Amino acid sequence: MRLCFLILLCLAAALSSAFVISPPHMWTKLILTHHWPTTFCSMEHPACHPNISYWTLHGLWPDKGIDCNSSWHFNSSQIEDLLPDMKTSWPDLLNPLSASFWKYEWHKHGTCAAKAPSLNSQHKYFSKALELYHKVDLDSILKKFDITPSEKYYKLSQIEGVIENFYSVKPKIQCVHPSKNADFQILGQIEICFNPDFTLLDCEKQFTMETTSKGDWDNPVAVDKASGFSVCDHDMPVYYPPLP
């Protein structure tokens, strides 16, 4: 009888530890989002000057939670050593001399990503985003396989195929649809996804997580949708615009 009690006690401790390690409100996927400056600037931003000819970082987004800690204010002095890379790899296309874009990304997504010990500071969050951005090196991979800005149109399957074959995961590709009657779509944003341990993951993979909490953690994060971006149509030609 005593042996059974000890076994049950050990099982209870193990289950308790599992809940501590994997809290029910923890995000299960990170979305590394790149955007194409020419498309972004052509959409709605007259003050935006698309003089960048490579894919830049839009953000690193956990799949659950938005604005998780409004009291955790952005402080650029904590990422001072990262700023030279941030200005190149993660530029604010609207206000190049401002830190407002990074402040926005930290408040909306970084404070939620910080639920994980590996991302629980501003420096950890921004440095990991930059590390993943450089590791993926999306711009170079597309160029390597002849997916380059051009006046010609691509099939969406061509772009998807290059990414899937190289990284062995499915991306999420978003386009701008100029009008309801347009016979083409404009390449705008590409998402590459990661597990919590930062290994690559199919972006289409969904996780079921039950929770009884209130607030933002009840639903998967509605990822940043710059006005006009939506999932690309497989049956429509894709225009990958060069610099104007």
> Which residues are known catalytic residues?
58, 105, 109
Q: Which residues contact 214 (CB under 8 A, 6 or more apart)?
A: none
How far, in whole angstroms, is CA 112 from its chain's centroid? Answer: 13
Helix (H) or strand (E) holding 153: strand 153-154
Token pair of 165 as six digits: 């074959």
Provide DSSP, 164-225.
HHHHSS--EEEEE---TT-S-EEEEEEEEEE-TTS-EE-TT----------SGGGSB-----
Judged by DSSP in three states, 98 sits in coil
